[in-house]
């Protein structure tokens, strides 16, 4: 299965991604984690990424596509993956054409997301109030259209992300079980 998890910062993407990875034995990959790792490198790209991420801006389409698509060539992702943070724009979704079986949208209100982030204990440099608000605004501007893109392909599943973690997980699993049954049916025909 090739799954994408979409939602604003604080929606619970990494929590659900890790739970799904464990249940389905599919590797979880967060583009944000990749970029934060690269931002620690003492290189011009690393410094640029650190400034970009800490300001709350999105990494441009060309850089994002180059990095994520290269990562997905690794052997551990050949039999499927759970992606978080990619694609964030319609340009990225179009370039990633065919790379997704199901898109899970964790629907969480901005206010709820801000409340969740304020309760975190890891205090990341890129989680200032200004950076978070900017990222939420960019989500509405750039990523919401991605949902329409995948909805038109019947790949989008909307999940109420404001429920308890286990209920969100259960709802996602029910949706993915339907996908697995459809894939098994298709394989049986061949």
- Mean pLDDT per 10-residue run, the chain (190 residues)? 93 96 95 88 89 84 91 92 94 91 95 79 67 85 94 95 97 90 82
pLDDT on residue 149? 96
3-state secondary structure of 82: strand
Superfamily the domain 2-189 falls into? P-loop containing nucleotide triphosphate hydrolases (3.40.50.300)
**Rounded distance, CA 189 to CA 167, Å?**
34
**Rounded distance, CA 117 to CA 115, Å?**
6
Residue 90, by phi and psi: left (phi above 0), alpha (psi -120 to 50) or beta?
alpha
Neighbours of 52 (CB within 10 A): 17
pLDDT on residue 24? 94
- Spans of all domains in the chain: 2-189
The reported pTM is 0.85
């Amino acid at each position: 299965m090739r799954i994408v998890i979409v939602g604003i910062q604080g929606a619970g993407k990494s929590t659900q991604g890790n739970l799904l990875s464990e249940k389905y034995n599919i590797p979880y990959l967060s583009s944000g984690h990749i970029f934060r790792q690269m931002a620690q490198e003492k290189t011009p790209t690393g410094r640029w990424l650190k400034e970009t991420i800490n300001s709350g801006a999105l990494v441009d389409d060309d850089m994002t596509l180059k990095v994520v698509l290269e990562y997905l060539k690794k052997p551990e992702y050949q039999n499927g993956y759970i992606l978080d943070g990619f694609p964030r724009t319609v340009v990225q979704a179009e370039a990633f054409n065919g790379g997704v079986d199901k898109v899970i949208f964790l629907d969480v209100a901005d206010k709820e997301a801000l409340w969740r982030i304020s309760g975190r204990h890891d205090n990341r440099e890129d989680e200032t109030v200004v950076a978070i608000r900017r990222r939420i605004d960019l989500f509405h501007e750039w990523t919401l259209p991605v949902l329409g893109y995948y909805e038109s392909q019947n790949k989008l599943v909307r999940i109420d992300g404001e429920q308890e973690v286990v209920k969100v997980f259960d709802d996602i699993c029910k949706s993915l079980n339907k996908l697995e049954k459809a894939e098994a049916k298709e394989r049986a025909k061949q």
